[in-house]
Structure formats: C-alpha cells, structure tokens
Chain A
Amino acid sequence: MMQEGLDDGPDFLSEEDRGPRAVNVDLQTDATLQVDISDALSERDKVKFTVHTKSTLPNFKQNEFSVVRQHEEFIWLHDSFVENEEYAGYIIPPAPPRPDFDASREKLQKLGEGEGSMTKEEFTKMKQELEAEYLAIFKKTVAMHEVFLCRVAAHPVLRKDMNFHVFLEYNQDLSVRGKNKREKMEDFFKNVVKSADGVLVAGVKDVDDFFEHEKTFLLEYHNRVKDASSKSDRMIRSHKSVADDINRIASTLYTLGTQDSTDVCKFFLKVSELFEKTRKIEARVAADEDLKLADLLKYYLRESQAAKDLLYRRGRALVDYENANKALDKARAKNKDVLQAETSQQVCCQKFEKISESAKQELIDFKTRRVAAFRKNLVELAELELKHAKGNLQLLQSCVGVLKGDT
C-alpha cells in the first residue's frame, strides 16, 4: 500500500523516504532495538500503522514482531512520557500530527461532482493528480509517526519505558480511547495555566549561563521557525498552483492541436507535450520543497517546543527549589517544622539537579541533531532542485531545438 508510486514518477519517493525517515539523522540505530513502520492502511477516517520491531533485548518475547497501531495510541504513548515525572529532564520527542486527509478528500469529492463538466482526459488527469496528492500526504503521515518511534527507540532512557514496550509488543488493541470532551477541556485549562506559569518561570534569571543562553536562544529560534514554517507552506502552495495552471495550459493546447492537422496544430501538440512534462517536474519541485524544507521546519517547530517545555520544567523545578530554600530558612528561623522543610527542600534539590544534569545533555544533543538534520535536508533539497532544473532545461532545450528546426 505504501510503496505505490505514480505511473511515471519513479523517484517520486526515492529511497530516502524508506528507512529511517528524512528529518532525523543521527539516530543511533543499533541492533538492540530497531523500530519502523513497515506498512500502513488508510481506512475511511483512520490510518492503521503496522509497527515493526527488531530487538535483541531480553524484555521482548520474540526478536522480531509487528503490531497494528492507530494515531490515538501514539498520542497516548507520548502523553504518558510527558506526564511521567521521571522524564522531566528529557526532551520528549514531539507527538506526530494527526493524519489529515480532509482537504484531499474534499478535493476528490469535488472532482467527482464536477465530472460531467470536463473532458474525459481532463478528468483522468485531475484524478491522477489528486490521487498522487493523497498518496503524498499519506506517506508523510507515515514518516512522521515513524520518526517519533525512532526517536524514542534511540533515546537511552525512553527506550526502556514500559509503556513503550507494551506499545511495541502488545498485539491487541490498547483500548486507548481519544480524550473525551471533559478531558479535552482539562487539557485546555492545563495549557493555559502552564503558559501563564511559563511566563513567570521564564522571568526568573538563571544562575547558570548555559541555561540562560539556551532559554533566550530557544525562545527566539522557536518563533522564527514558526514563521519560516508558515511562510514556506504558503510559498509551496503557490508553486503547486503554478504547476496546476501549466497543466491546464497543456490540456488546452492539446485541444487546439487536435482540431486540425496543419503545421501550427502539430506545433501546438508538441508544445502541449512539453508543458505536460515540465509541469510534472514543477509539481515534483513543489513536492520536494515540501518534504525537504517545509517538513523540516515543521519538525523543528515541534522539537523546539519540546525543548522549551524541558526548560520550563527545569525552570519550574528551580523555582520550587528556591521556594523550598526560603521555606527552610523561615522554618529554621521560627524553629518550626524544620524536618519537614528540610526533606521538602532536599526533594526539590534532587529533582532540580537531576533535571539540570540531563537537560544539559539533551539540549546539546538537540543542537547536534538539528544541525545534522538541516545539513542533510538542505543538501538534498539543493541536489533535487538542481536535478529538476536540469531536467527542465533539457526538455526545454530539446523542444526548442525541434520547434526551431521545423520552421
């Protein structure tokens, strides 16, 4: 299901789209635990992912096994990480976005309704286009779910998580229902409180230079990545529109060309053929920009948010620690409930130090991953753009040569 390509687009999804996904590199893929999504099925309004695991770890009953999971189960796993205090000091890999085929489905439906108003060729063409678009979205959502799992599998601590193992191995439905209304409301309020708190916490100046720098950096970076992500989306959409227009031009020229067999009609046919080919390339350029640029930015938007969350948790722990210190001083001064204050302070201290220790490493790793991912994707983007431009160029050159030779 997943590997279906376009009729004539042999490298619409090249090798880089299989295997560890494009966005993240540097995942220590060691033999002890390898996870991937080997198959996926799109049904009505849900997608079923086949999660395939290969592991030499003793925790699992077999060395290789697969289960079927849905999007909600991924979210459940992610949320369980977030809610686990033990993982407060780690960047929790961002949850994959919900598969969204609504727009694509709507377009396919509209096409079906408008079938009567266009020629058979036009209809077939447009249908192919939309199906390809649907397929592309499908492939993307698979990729994003896979990246999440790979990130977890590569993390020295998270990969040992019990829930994760259950997720990978338990071959029944996890009975994880999506959140009901009340839970969603709770989440909403939690987020409101959290962001208000986040502002407070962020205001506290950190003693540690490293974290202070990271805080400022991440804040700015996150905002700019957000901006770049939305702008790249818009640009790519325009690009797709241009490709669509060239498609229609090709069709109309074809109609003009078939009206007669004069010289000029043959000319139109040749040009129509050229435009057919160039617009396929243009469409691919837009698709590649989407994959290599837009998706990259989107991913780092989510990851930078996860990093910010980590900093927030650390900041929160710092504030708690400082408050506990103050409470201890007060208790000592009044000589009341000193023991309680001491234990409380110690707990806060430990928590804070634990988070700080792992957070530092996490943030450094984040940077390394980010640089590597950008490098990979920018290089691939440039190579693809070059490839397509050269392809286009060759087509145009040969066509112009033929046309000029004819006249």
Chain B
Amino acid sequence: MAASSPRNPPPLRGAENQDPLSEMADEDSDEGEDIFVGNSNPVAESFQPDTANGEEPADLFSEEETSTAVNSSITTFKSNGVHSDNENDLFAEVSVELSMENPSTTAKTSGAEFTPSLTLSATQPRSMEQLEEEKDEDSFDMDVAVTNPEKIGDGMNAYMAYKVSTRTTLPMFRNRTFSVWRRFSDFLGLYEKLSVKHSLNGCIIPPPPEKSVVGMTKVKVGKEDSSSADFVERRRAALERYLQRVVCHPSLLQDPDVREFLERDELPRAVGTHTLSGAGFLKMINRASDAVSKMTIKISYSDAWFDNKLQEVESEDLQLRKLHAVVDSLVNHRKELCGNTAVFAKSMAMLGNSEDNTALSRALSQLAEVEDKMETLHQEQAASDFFILAELLADYIRLLGAVRGCFEQRMKTWQSWQEAQSTLQKKREVEAKLLWANKPDKLQQAKEEISEWEGKVTQYERDFDRISVTVRKEFLRFEKEKSKDFKSQIVKYLESLLQSQQRLVMFWEAFLPEAKAIA
C-alpha cells in the first residue's frame, strides 16, 4: 500500500554528498538504473542521522542527491511537449521560480526512502474474496517513486517537473527499470482518464492531490523560503503516494493509460477538455452522494451490507476530519513551541553571560544549548506530525470521498435499472391499450419498443449485479489497504516519537553533570 516515506524537514545544514552518479541520473529516459541499483548511496542514510529506520540504502529506490545536470533534463523534458498552455487553465500548475541551486529542495527528496509496499506478507485470509486478492497481489512486483522536483522555465510560465521512476518485473513493461519526467497536470490527466473509464464500473480510483493556486504561486514567485520548499515536498510526497496506490490496484495497473504514464517519454499534454479537475470531480461526487444517500432507503431487498458500509464510511469520514483538525492544531502548536524554545534558549544564554558565578554561568549556557537542541527536535517532530500523520489523514479523507463516489455509481446503476423497468411497464401498458384499441401499425412499434426495453432491463440488471460485485470487492480491498496503511504509518510515527525521546534522554543526561557541578 502507499506507505509514504518518512519526511524530514528541509535540512538547513548543507550536509550533501555529491553523488558521483548524478550525471548519469538525469539524462535518463528509461535507463534509470542508477537509482535502483544498489550503488553506494550512503546518501540515503546521511539525511536521516537520527531516524532509526530499518530500511537500508540497498533499498529499492536509493535515490540520488543532487540533480546537477538540470539542463540535460530540461531538454529531455521539453521534448515531452510540456509547454505551458496558457489556455489550459485547469492545469495551470504555473511557473515556479525556485532556484535550482537550492540544495534543500533536491536534498530533501533524496532523503526520502521508499518502502516496498507491494510485497505483501501473507496474512490470514478471512474470506474467499480476500484470498483471491492476495493471490493476485503476490504475483507481481512493482515499485514506483516520485523524486527530484525541478523547476522548469521561468516566471509565471514555469512549472515543476517530477521524476517518476519505476522498477518492475512485470512482463508488460518494456524494461525492468525506467524513469520519465512528469508534471502535476500529467498526474491529474491520468486521474481523469482513469475516472472516465473505470469509475462507472464501481472502481475506487485513488484521487490525486489537490491543486493549489496559492501554493504554486508562491513557488512561482521565487520565494525561497521554507514554506515553498515544504509545499513542493508535500506535493512530491502526495504524488508518490497517489501513484503507489494506482499501481497497487490490480485493475488499474492493467490500464494502458497507466502504462503509458509510467513508460512513455513524451506524454501528450493533458489538454483541459474536461471540466473535471481532481478536486472538481470529487466535489461533484460529494454533492451527488448526499443526494444518493437519501435514496438508499428505497432499496427494498437485502442490501444491508452496502447500506451498513456506506454508513460506516460516513461516520469514519467524520472522525477522520476531526482527527485531521486536531493533528493540524498539534503541528501548529509544536511549531510555536519550537519558536518559543529558540527564543528562550537565547534568553538563557544571555542570562548565563551575566551570571558572575563561573560554574553557574557555564551551566546556564549549557542549558541554553540543550534548549537549542530541543528546538531542532521540536521542528523535526512537527515535520513528522505533518508528513506522516496529517497527510495520511488527508489522503484518506479524499479516498473516502472516492469510495462514496463508488457507492453512488452503484446506486445510479440501480436507478437506471429501476427506471428501465418502469419504462418497460409503461410500454406494456401502452401495448395492452393498443391491443384493445386495435391499431396494428402502432402495435408493431410498441412491440419493438417493448423488446428494446426488455433488453435494456436485462442489461441494466446485469450491470447492476456486476457493479455490485465490483464495489464489494473494491471496498474489501480498500479496507484491507487502509488497515495496512494506517498501521504502518502510525507505527512509523510512533517510531519518530520514540527517537525524539531517545534524543531527549541524551540531551538531559549530558546536562545533568553540568548542573551538579555548580558550586
């Protein structure tokens, strides 16, 4: 499942290694080997000095650091036909004026690790359905990563390009490892293509991250502050999780559009023929599902399962939103704590300077240093709070929206079926009347219509049965993924808390003798 990588705040220290492979890295179109081959990439570790993560650099995607060869990547990219169409307002992921030399943007991403999420451990299957699903998932091996956000172009027409790297053993791809460059609108385009094709089947299509005019404008304008760096990192991580969810889905993976997205060097520019942006589509779904949920009462036969599940989804949505709001508050308070701690540390240092007892003076300075270290700790913890917890919740709030859309599709199918049935009924009544009134010409037409509608009724009924099966399957699969996702992310979050406490212990243990030495 889409377990997203642990995020560290943009490291302000210039602790970068120059990756010897970087020149190879960026020209690739499909030879992304350097990313995945377990070449000496101590880099993956170097950015997380404090995270005791179990992942080794020999992990699938030990990513390279600095994209020094920006220019080469631009040329390959431009050939993707990714000019900013100004008329294409929908995907106006407009220009981002981030200087490429900013180490923190690139550095961040390379600190990211990708956990191989698709290799499932065999869990006890609880039903035939689940057994089937597991069999499918175990049989392929596929990993996707989104890295190296780079600004292409200048001014308001610039945009961010992301490197999408795939590693797979599936035969349907041309190579085993390959990379392409994509921009945000490409991801949205993929979503829309998939929606159009699959949502009518009752598939739960993972929604992409939302567009953000404000966020992108800041980046565009060239503000090199931490908020734009944060924004880019947040988006990159969200895009990665989005893709991971897509490729995790057995039916979607088979879709040629997905394959094309991952493999093809030049992707035709997603032109805005749709009025549906990711968010727009979801809004539609949300509005519609409200109307539909009122209709569920009318289903007379044993549809309890679907009703129950929909209710569960809705109450869960409520709770997740609540939780998300609180986590947001936590992030803000921690950031505030971080700032206040820094200020206090300085103040303590000043006090230590004034103090004329030497030992006490030194102890106070040491205390100031401890508080300084706590500030860093709080900052990193706030980043964990956000990137691991808050984003997880945000993702699932969006996903639950997609799930509801799915249920709605089923309702619509049912409705069509019911309407067809009532139309058929009416046609039969018409026929009866005609028989009685004895009008042979019209009778013929009526009989034709009846058989037409009989056909429709049968088809709609089949559609409904089919979509019911799909929705049910999708839902169970979703539940399973969600369970896994939450568990792994929350454990990851707890581990980050754990590390913070370990460091705290270290700080205070170092300080204690200083305090005791006061005389």
Interface residue ranges, A against B (CB under 8 Å): 217, 220-221, 224-225, 227-228, 231-232, 234-235, 237-239, 241-242, 245-246, 248-249, 252-253, 255-256, 259-260, 262-264, 267-268, 271, 274, 278, 367, 370-371, 374-375, 378-379, 381-383, 385-386, 389-390, 392-393, 396-397, 399-400, 403-404, 407
Contacts of A237 in B (CB 8 A): 340
Q: Are the C-beta atoms of B483 and A264 separated by less than 8 Å?
A: yes
Q: Are the C-beta atoms of B319 and A259 separated by less than 8 Å?
A: yes
A44 to chain B, nearest CB (A): 33
Contact of A392 among B350, B490, B501 (CB under 8 A): B501
Q: Are the C-beta atoms of B491 and A403 separated by less than 8 Å?
A: yes
Q: Are the C-beta atoms of B512 and A379 separated by less than 8 Å?
A: yes
Contacts of B53 in A (CB 8 A): none
Whether A396 touches B497, Cβ cut-off 8 Å, given contacts A228-B344, A242-B337, A245-B326, is: yes
Q: Are the C-beta atoms of A246 and B330 separated by less than 8 Å?
A: yes
B contact residues, total (Cβ < 8 Å) = 57
Interface string of B336-368 (1 = CB under 8 A from A): 110011011001101101111101100110010
Q: Are the C-beta atoms of A396 and B348 separated by less than 8 Å?
A: no
Residue on B nearest A217 in the bound complex, by CB: B356
Give bound CA distance, A404 to B337, whole Å.
Answer: 31
Q: Are the C-beta atoms of B494 and A399 separated by less than 8 Å?
A: yes
- Looking at chain A's contact residues, is the secondary structure mostly helix, strand, loop, or mixed? helix
Q: Are the C-beta atoms of A271 and B494 separated by less than 8 Å?
A: yes
Give bound CA distance, A164 to B348, whole Å.
Answer: 37
Give bound CA distance, A238 to B367, whole Å.
Answer: 19
Q: Are the C-beta atoms of A249 and B494 separated by less than 8 Å?
A: no
Summed over the interface, the residue pairs from A and B with CB atoms below 8 Å come to a total of 160
A295 to chain B, nearest CB (A): 15
- Looking at chain B's contact residues, is the secondary structure mostly helix, strand, loop, or mixed? helix
Give bound CA distance, A379 to B514, whole Å.
Answer: 9
Interface residue ranges, B against A (CB under 8 Å): 312, 315-316, 319-320, 322-323, 326-327, 329-330, 333-334, 336-337, 340-341, 343-344, 347-348, 350-351, 353-357, 359-360, 363-364, 367, 479, 482-483, 486-488, 490-491, 494-495, 497-498, 501-502, 504-505, 508-509, 511-512, 515-516, 518-519
Contacts of B315 in A (CB 8 A): 259
Q: Are the C-beta atoms of A386 and B490 separated by less than 8 Å?
A: no
B196 to chain A, nearest CB (A): 32
Whether A267 touches B486, Cβ cut-off 8 Å, given contacts A249-B326, A389-B501, is: yes
Contacts of A389 in B (CB 8 A): 501, 504-505, 508
Whether A259 touches B316, Cβ cut-off 8 Å, given contacts A249-B330, A379-B516, A399-B494, is: yes
Contacts of A267 in B (CB 8 A): 483, 486-487, 490
Q: Are the C-beta atoms of A235 and B341 separated by less than 8 Å?
A: yes
Contacts of B327 in A (CB 8 A): 245, 249
Give bound CA distance, A189 to B4, whole Å.
Answer: 65
Q: Are the C-beta atoms of B343 and A234 separated by less than 8 Å?
A: yes
Residue pairs across A and B with Cβ atoms less than 8 A apart, 15 shown, are: A252-B326, A262-B483, A267-B487, A271-B490, A367-B357, A385-B508, A393-B501, A393-B502, A393-B505, A399-B494, A400-B494, A400-B498, A403-B494, A407-B488, A407-B491
User: Considering residues A259, A263, A370, which has the most beta carbons from chain B within 10 angstroms of its beta carbon?
Assistant: A263
Q: Are the C-beta atoms of A227 and B350 separated by less than 8 Å?
A: yes
Contact of B330 among A245, A264, A268, A381 (CB under 8 A): A245
Q: Are the C-beta atoms of B487 and A264 separated by less than 8 Å?
A: yes
Residue on B nearest A250 in the bound complex, by CB: B326
Contact of B494 among A241, A370, A396 (CB under 8 A): A396
Give bound CA distance, A171 to B194, whole Å.
Answer: 86
Q: Are the C-beta atoms of B367 and A264 separated by less than 8 Å?
A: no
User: Considering residues B491, B494, B509, B519, which has the most beta carbons from chain A within 10 angstroms of its beta carbon?
Assistant: B494
Contacts of B336 in A (CB 8 A): 238, 241
A198 to chain B, nearest CB (A): 20
Give bound CA distance, A386 to B515, whole Å.
Answer: 13
Contact of B491 among A253, A370, A400 (CB under 8 A): A400
Whether A238 touches B340, Cβ cut-off 8 Å, given contacts A263-B483, A378-B367, is: yes
Q: Are the C-beta atoms of B337 and A239 separated by less than 8 Å?
A: yes
Residue on B nearest A225 in the bound complex, by CB: B351
Contacts of B359 in A (CB 8 A): 371
Contact of B360 among A245, A249, A374 (CB under 8 A): A374
A275 to chain B, nearest CB (A): 9
Residue on A nearest B371 in the bound complex, by CB: A235
Contacts of B355 in A (CB 8 A): 221
Q: Are the C-beta atoms of A235 and B323 separated by less than 8 Å?
A: no
Contacts of B487 in A (CB 8 A): 264, 267, 403, 407
Give bound CA distance, A396 to B495, whole Å.
Answer: 8
Give bound CA distance, A93 to B437, whole Å.
Answer: 114
Contact of A220 among B341, B354, B512 (CB under 8 A): B354
Give bound CA distance, A371 to B519, whole Å.
Answer: 7
Contacts of B515 in A (CB 8 A): 375, 378-379, 381-382
Q: Are the C-beta atoms of A245 and B329 separated by less than 8 Å?
A: yes
